[in-house]
């Protein structure tokens, strides 16, 4: 088995045994990036010198017997995480040349764990999008069919993992931006409970929804990555002060008797027939493994999209107000006065989708409309969270589709924002409630990947990962790879 096909556990064993060095592994991955990234556009920045220096350090730690399971493993970071002295662009012209003066907590924790950073991955501008077509640096292409999208906003990370250009990657999930691209590219992605991973140094889109998380090819690899980034951070006021579970250690638990809730509302109109059949096939496999199926209802789930597209734009309007051409970020040439500086810097720096969401959010927060839109959306958000609480009285894990269809063609939904927003119809409710959710591969439909979504109760990531791991031990859906990569 070639190096790029091996899991974190396999590579960790080989690195520890001296069968391969981190320098060799990193060089191999950099060569794959050079060979394949031009066709996919996964990376905005490749940090070759940094990667080789970190690999050398990792080899020294391994030789000294100071290695952990992630030491020497080459990964990539979504370009929304600040990285010391490396460009952090958020896929935007606004931050095209921004060099971060510090590392985000997630980046720092993984560096302490000994990982090797290959580079920064492409993304929808400021994480706003479901296809990775809004990036200032051009769209990312899905390695399963380069005429289709990889999903978004973490599409660069998803495509890089799927094409075996890195072992694992970080992503962020505000309304499905880890899970939806994981589904469309046939990999495993986890959005942890809100507050499980620090948001410090992660450029904010919607502060009450954003959450960092890992993306890899299997639940086992995701468990190792989550252990590396989870935990309390005193610099993040939304960080949860509670111990981190042994995610990898919990992977061997039997799932017989685990109650699996199938959401009635997720399996009806709007779901592609092939995707529905794949999800049901995965449910049958869980039943064969001894899990118990329970039909549940989330009656307010249909309100999640309209509620989200009030709350998220309102928060983005506030968060992106800092990019004004004065402090940092893009600044227009020769402004006539302060008003011209603001107008042209923001008009030139932001793309169409970001501008659309800023305008929607500013309107929703304006005098006379706050109560009618933002306050009402927050009340609906509470109803959605209450639905999940009631559902978890009947089941342990909720399952359903991650996305309504398989990967769509590049440009197919570019002129139809509402159709694009509906790509997250099954994922958004999880963010509104602050719950953990993950997407794992189900059987393919017409040769394209399908995602099975697993949703857990608060801080129940260990159970989610175990259910996913047991399903992956019994099937080979997650081992399928795109041709040519």
User: In this structure, are residues 89 and 77 in contact, taking their beta carbons and an 8 Å threshold?
Assistant: no
Look at residues 166, 231, 220, 228 and name the one whose alpha carbon lies nearest to residue 193. 231
User: What's the confidence (pLDDT) of residue 1?
Assistant: 80
Q: What is the rounded average pLDDT of the residues 132-148?
A: 98
| Residues 40, 104, 189, 173, CA torsion sign | negative
Asked about 130 being catalytic, the answer comes back as: no
The confidence score (pLDDT) of residue 14 equals 96
Domain ranges of the chain: 3-255, 306-367
Written as six digits, the tokens of 409 are 């063609």
φ, ψ (nearest 5 deg) of residue 429: -60, -35
Task: Give yes or no for residue 369 having a pLDDT over 90.
Answer: no
Q: Which of 99-103, 267-271, 384-388 has the weakest average pLDDT?
A: 267-271
Question: Could you confirm whether 419 is annotated as catalytic?
Answer: no
Tell me: pLDDT of 285 over 90.
yes
Which pLDDT value is given to residue 479? 96
Residue 288 scores a pLDDT above 90: yes
Q: What is the pLDDT of residue 132?
A: 96
Q: What pLDDT score was predicted for residue 100?
A: 96
Closest CA to 374 of 315, 450, 451, 461: 315
Write down the pTM of the prediction: 0.96
pLDDT confidence of residue 249:
94
Q: How confident is the model at residue 417 (pLDDT cuts 50, 70, 90)?
A: confident
Strands laid side by side in the 259-263 sheet: 43-46, 116-121, 74-78, 168-172, 212-216, 188-191, 437-445, 448-456, 397-401, 259-263, 292-296
Is 39's pLDDT higher than 90? yes
Lowest-pLDDT choice from 180-189, 357-366, 460-469:
357-366
**pLDDT confidence tier of residue 40, bands split at 50, 70 and 90:** very high
User: Residue with structure tokens 């997720």?
Assistant: 266
**Residue 307 CA neighbour count, 13 Å, CB half:** 26
Q: One of 92, 177, 317, 439 is an active-site residue; which one?
A: 177
Q: Exposure string (b/e) for 260-283, b if CB count within 10 Å is 16 or more?
A: bbbbebbbeeebbebbbebbeebb
Residues 6+ apart with CB under 8 A from 409: 147, 148, 149
> pLDDT category, 327, cuts 50, 70, 90?
confident
pLDDT at 15 over 90: yes
What's the pLDDT band for 55 if we cut at 50, 70, 90?
very high
CATH for 3-255? 3.90.1300.10
Given 21, 22, 78, 154, the catalytic residue: 78
Q: Are 7 and 220 in contact (CB under 8 A)?
A: yes
- Assign 3 a pLDDT band (cuts: 50, 70, 90): very high
State the average pLDDT for the chain. 96
Asked if residues 422 and 438 have their Cβ atoms less than 8 Å apart, the reply is no
Q: How far is CA 187 from each of CA 34, 112, 205, 321, 347, rounded to the nearest angstrom?
A: 22, 25, 24, 35, 36
pLDDT over 70 percentage in the chain = 100
User: Catalytic: which of 7, 89, 100, 153?
Assistant: 153
| Segment 391-395 mean pLDDT | 97
Q: Active-site residue 78, yes or no?
A: yes
What is the β-pairing status of strands 188-191 and 212-216?
A: antiparallel
């Amino acid at each position: 088995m070639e190096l790029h096909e091996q899991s974190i556990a396999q590579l960790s064993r080989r690195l520890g045994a001296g069968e391969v060095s981190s320098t060799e592994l990193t060089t191999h991955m950099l060569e794959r990036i050079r060979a394949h990234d031009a066709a996919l556009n996964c990376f905005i920045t490749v940090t070759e010198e940094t990667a080789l220096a970190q690999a050398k350090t990792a080899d020294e730690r391994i030789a000294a017997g100071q290695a952990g399971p992630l030491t020497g493993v080459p990964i990539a970071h979504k370009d929304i995480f600040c990285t010391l002295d490396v460009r952090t662009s958020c896929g935007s012209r606004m931050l095209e040349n921004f060099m971060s003066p510090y590392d985000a907590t997630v980046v720092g924790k993984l560096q302490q764990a000994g990982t090797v950073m290959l580079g920064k991955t492409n993304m929808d501008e400021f994480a706003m999008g479901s296809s990775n077509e809004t990036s200032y640096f051009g769209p990312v292409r899905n390695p399963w069919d380069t005429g289709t999208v990889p999903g978004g906003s973490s599409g660069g990370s998803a495509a890089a993992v799927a094409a075996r250009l890195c072992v694992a990657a970080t992503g962020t999930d505000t309304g499905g931006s880890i899970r939806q691209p994981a589904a469309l590219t046939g990999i495993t992605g986890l959005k942890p409970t809100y507050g499980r991973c620090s948001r410090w140094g992660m450029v904010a889109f919607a502060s009450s929804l954003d959450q960092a998380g890992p993306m890899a090819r299997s639940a086992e690899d995701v468990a190792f990555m989550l252990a590396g980034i989870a935990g309390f951070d005193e610099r993040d006021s939304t960080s949860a002060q509670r111990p981190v579970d042994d995610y990898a250690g919990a992977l061997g638990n039997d799932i017989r008797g685990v109650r699996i809730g199938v959401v009635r509302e997720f399996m009806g109109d709007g779901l592609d027939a092939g995707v529905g059949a794949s999800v049901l096939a995965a449910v049958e496999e869980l039943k064969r493994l001894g899990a118990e199926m329970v039909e549940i209802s989330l009656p307010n789930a249909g309100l999640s999209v309209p509620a989200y597209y009030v709350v998220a734009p309102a928060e983005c309007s506030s968060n992106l107000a800092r990019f004004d051409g004065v402090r940092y970020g893009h600044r227009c040439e020769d402004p006539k006065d302060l008003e011209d500086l603001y107008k042209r810097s923001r008009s030139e720096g932001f793309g169409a989708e970001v501008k659309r969401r800023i305008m929607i959010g500013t309107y929703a927060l304006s005098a006379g409309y706050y109560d009618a839109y933002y306050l009402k959306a927050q009340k609906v958000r509470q109803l959605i969270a209450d639905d999940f609480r009631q559902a978890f009285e009947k089941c342990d894990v909720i399952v359903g589709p991650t996305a309504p269809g398989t990967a769509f063609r590049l440009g197919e939904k570019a002129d139809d924002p509402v159709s694009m927003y509906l790509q997250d119809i099954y994922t958004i409710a999880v963010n509104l409630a602050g719950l953990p959710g993950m997407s794992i591969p189900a059987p393919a439909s017409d040769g394209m990947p399908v995602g099975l979504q697993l949703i857990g109760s608060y801080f129940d990531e260990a159970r989610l990962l175990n259910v996913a791991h047991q399903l992956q031990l019994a099937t080979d859906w997650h081992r399928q790879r795109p041709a040519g990569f």
